[in-house]
Structure 1
Amino acid sequence: MKATRKESLEYIASLLQELADLAKDQKLPFLSYLIEMAFIEVSDLAKQQVSGKSKTQSNHLNGSEPH
């Protein structure tokens, strides 16, 4: 059975959290920061899946254009 988009995003978030922890343990602050930013992005996308909003709709509402 194929995972839903929300399930995939949640799985990616959990992997990113593990990677961020590993980077911190290895004293790699910049790498940890970048991974944490990716974690925040994927977490936001997962939340949008729950609320039914797409990123495009969210960007349109706050006045920014998609990249």
Structure 2
Amino acid sequence: MFAVQSFYSICLKINFKSTYLSIRLAESKAMKETKEQAYQELIYVHDTLLQLRQIAQNNRYPMLAYFIEMAWVEVSDVLRSQFGQSAKN
């Protein structure tokens, strides 16, 4: 982290503002892609847990269905708190 900050400082001191801005833009884009990937992965987990809960219920494993449902609730809460939206049920 220190090396990255030093590089930014050097870019600014030498007046490489365009280079500095390009780096910041690339970082911003990478962070956005990472956040989108995390969102898509959580949606996948959310949907898969619903399917697993149904399988457990169909096979008469109520305790297993309950624990899977609790995991589903947790994923729903994470989606709501971190991404400001809830997944489709």
* TM-score when normalising by structure 2: 0.52
Higher helix fraction: Structure 1 or Structure 2? 2
Give the aligned length: 51
Tell me the secondary structure at the aligned position of residue 27 of structure 1. coil
Q: More relative contact order in 1 or in 2 (CA 8 Å, sep 6+)?
A: 1
Give the match for residue 49 of structure 2: 16
Give the match for residue 67 of structure 2: 34
CA displacement, residues 3-53 of structure 1 (integer Å, 9 cap, x when unaligned): 6111111100100000000000000000000000000001111112223xx
The gaps in structure 2 that reach 5 residues or longer are 1-32, 85-89
The gaps in structure 1 that reach 5 residues or longer are 52-67
Deviates more, 1:19-28 or 1:40-49: 40-49
Q: Which has the larger radius of gyration?
A: 2
* TM-score when normalising by structure 1: 0.68
Tell me the secondary structure at the aligned position of residue 23 of structure 1. helix
Q: What RMSD over aligned residues (CA atoms) do the two structures have, in Å?
A: 1.7
- Percent of residue pairs bearing the same amino acid type: 33
Q: Which runs of 4+ in 1 moved over 3 A?
A: none
Q: What residue identity is the alignment partner of 2:43? A: E
